[in-house]
């Protein structure tokens, strides 16, 4: 892996794109200080240019060099959760250019824990802008094969299946503490670490594409179905349905993925399962709704966006 990491860092230095594993999902990386490299990144993803991108670093000190007026809360969260699946939105420093902030005065920074991501970031020794390695709006990639199947990239580092499986928790610290995107690190854990209430994102919060109603979505229309309605929905569609559910497969349906009852295990499996059911090419993906409890917040967030009606 060492020579591959060195090669990947060279590709980044030359302005190229490298897909790499993180503990959450695979990222599509570019040199965060190069306008040309970041433009190439947006083109590869098919992403609108005014959307901000998360910048990844090997250490908290490096991450904070892209920010100014760093609040004590940010340092505390870094101490507690970095390296790990947390992104902080902070007031930007001069190092965070318009082409990574979407022209906003804030920047999203993260220190991932995956050993291959860490090795790459240390070797590169700078900020790596990295959105999830998928086409804009579609399901994130949790394996190297997912990336290769959908993006044109110069180099892919394979670090095995992502452990968390859904994108990082995003906390906005530009005024108070607000949750922009739920993830493995929960609101409750952040509140406990800081001893303050965490607000929800509102209209004044920085723009973020994960906040779009339809995002993380398969091509097949997906429908969220309450457990007691699953049988009736299957009866209505028969073999035209593909199903993601907690219960055992039903013989009327050819494409069925049975999901774990533990929220972390469910999240880990989610995107591969959605990709598999999408590839089946049925008319509808029926998704059995998970429980309404706090531990399922991040999974419910991704499912409700995946299952939003096609506009
Ligand atoms: O787990 C993750 O966060 C993965 C891995 C690769 O690190 N990355 C990821 O990136 O999910 P992306 O670009 O697919 O989603 C990043 C989210 C977007 O909703 C983006 O708009 C938001 O973070 N974001 C980035 N910088 C921001 C900023 N300055 N203000 C508000 N939102 C920001
Ligand atoms: Mg994404």
For 227-240, the three-class secondary structure string (H helix, E strand, C coil) is HHHHHHHHHHHHHH
Nearest Cα residue to atom 7 of ligand 1: 27
Of the listed ligands, the closest to the CA of 131 is 1
Closest CA to 216 of 308, 309, 302: 302
Contact (CB, 8 A) for 92 and 66? yes
The pLDDT value recorded for residue 50 is 83
**Contact between residue 60 and residue 67 where contact means Cβ atoms under 8 Å apart:** no
The tokens describing 27, both together, are 């990222």
pLDDT value for 138: 85
CA of 26 to the centre of ligand 2 (A): 10
CB of 285 closer than 8 Å to CB of 223: yes
Nearest in space to 96 (alpha carbons), one of 120, 127, 69: 127
In the reported structure, the alpha carbon of residue 257 is separated from the centroid of ligand 1 by a whole-number distance in angstroms of 28
Give yes or no for a contact between 141 and 132, defined as CB atoms under 8 angstroms apart: yes
pLDDT tens for 164-186 read 999 999 999 999 999 999 999 99
The residues whose Cβ lies within 5 A of ligand 2, an ion, are 132
Q: Please report, in angstroms and rounded to a whole number, the separation of the first and last CA atoms in the chain.
A: 43
Alpha helices in the chain (DSSP H): 2-13, 35-45, 60-64, 72-81, 98-101, 115-124, 144-150, 187-194, 230-237, 263-279, 297-306
Give yes or no for a contact between 143 and 162, defined as CB atoms under 8 angstroms apart: yes
For residue 153, give the DSSP letter: -
Which own/partner pairs from 254-263 qualify as long-range (CB within 8 Å, at least 24 positions apart)?
A: 254/280, 255/280, 255/282, 259/288, 263/290, 263/295, 263/296, 263/298, 263/299
Question: What CA–CA distance (Å, rounded) separates 303 from 259?
Answer: 13
Counting from 1 in the atom list of ligand 1, the atom nearest the Cα of 205 is 31
For ligand 1, atom 27, which residue shows the shortest CA distance? Answer: 108
Mean pLDDT, the chain, rounded, equals 94
Nearest-angstrom CA–CA distance, 35 and 152:
19
pLDDT at 311: 46
Cα distance between residue 208 and residue 190, in whole Å: 20
d(Cα 46, Cα 130) in Å, to the nearest integer? 14
Kindly identify the ligand whose nearest atom is closest to the C-alpha of 54.
1
The residue whose CB lies within 8 Å of the most ligand 1 atoms, and thus the one to mutate among 131, 144, 147, is 131
Distance from the CA of 106 to the center of ligand 2, in angstroms? 18
Longest dimension (CA), the chain: 59
With a CB cutoff of 8 Å and minimum separation 6, the contacts of 94 are none
| Closest ligand to residue 136's CA | 2
Tell me the pLDDT tens digit for each residue of 16-34. 999 999 999 999 999 999 9
Q: What is the CA radius of gyration of the chain?
A: 19
pTM: 0.95
Ligand 1: residue of 23, 68, 151, 167 to mutate (most ligand atoms within 8 A of CB) is: 167
* Shortest-distance Cα residue to atom 33 of ligand 1: 208
Give the integer Cα–Cα distance in Å for 65 and 161. 31
* pLDDT recorded at residue 78: 98
From the list 60, 284, 38, 78, the residue with the least C-alpha distance to 194 is 78
Residue with CA closest to ligand 1 atom 30: 206
**DSSP codes, 81-135:** H-SSSEEEEEEB-TTS-HHHHTTSSEEEEE----HHHHHHHHHHTS-EE--BSSS
| pLDDT string in tens for the chain (311-residue length) | 799 999 999 999 999 999 999 999 999 999 999 999 999 999 999 988 888 999 999 999 999 999 999 999 999 999 999 999 999 999 999 999 999 999 999 999 999 999 999 999 999 999 999 999 999 878 999 999 999 989 989 899 999 999 999 999 999 999 999 999 999 999 999 999 999 999 998 766 666 655 566 677 899 999 999 999 999 999 999 999 999 999 999 999 999 999 999 999 999 999 999 999 999 999 999 999 999 999 999 999 999 999 965 54
């Amino acid at each position: 892996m060492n020579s591959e990491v060195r090669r990947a860092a060279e590709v980044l230095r030359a302005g190229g794109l490298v897909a790499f594993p993180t503990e959450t999902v695979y990222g599509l990386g570019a040199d965060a200080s190069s306008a040309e490299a970041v433009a190439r990144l947006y083109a590869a993803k098919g992403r609108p240019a005014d959307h901000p991108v998360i910048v990844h670093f090997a250490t908290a000190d490096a991450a904070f060099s892209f920010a100014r007026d760093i609040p004590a809360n940010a340092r505390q969260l870094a101490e507690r959760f970095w390296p790990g699946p947390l992104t902080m939105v902070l007031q930007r420093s001069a190092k965070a250019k318009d082409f990574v902030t979407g022209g906003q005065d804030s920047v999203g920074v993260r220190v991932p824990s995956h050993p291959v991501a860490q090795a790459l970031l240390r070797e590169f020794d700078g900020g790596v802008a990295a959105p999830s390695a998928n086409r804009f709006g579609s399901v994130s990639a949790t394996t190297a094969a997912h990336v290769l199947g959908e993006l044109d990239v110069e180099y892919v580092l394979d670090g095995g299946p992502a452990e968390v499986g859904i994108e990082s928790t995003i906390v906005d610290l530009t005024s108070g503490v607000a949750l922009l995107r739920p993830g493995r690190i929960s609101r409750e854990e952040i509140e406990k670490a800081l001893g303050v209430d965490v607000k929800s994102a509102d209209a004044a919060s920085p723009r973020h594409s994960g906040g779009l109603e339809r995002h993380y979505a398969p091509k097949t229309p997906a429908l969220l179905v309450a457990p007691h309605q699953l049988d009736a929905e299957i009866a209505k569609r028969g073999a035209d349905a593909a199903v993601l559910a907690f219960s055992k497969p039903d013989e009327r349906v050819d494409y069925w993925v049975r999901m774990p009852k533990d929220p972390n295990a469910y999240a880990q499996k989610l995107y591969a399962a959605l990709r598999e059911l999408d590839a089946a090419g049925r008319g509808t993906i029926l998704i059995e709704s998970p429980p309404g409890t706090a531990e399922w917040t991040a999974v419910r967030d991704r499912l409700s966006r995946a299952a939003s009606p096609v506009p």
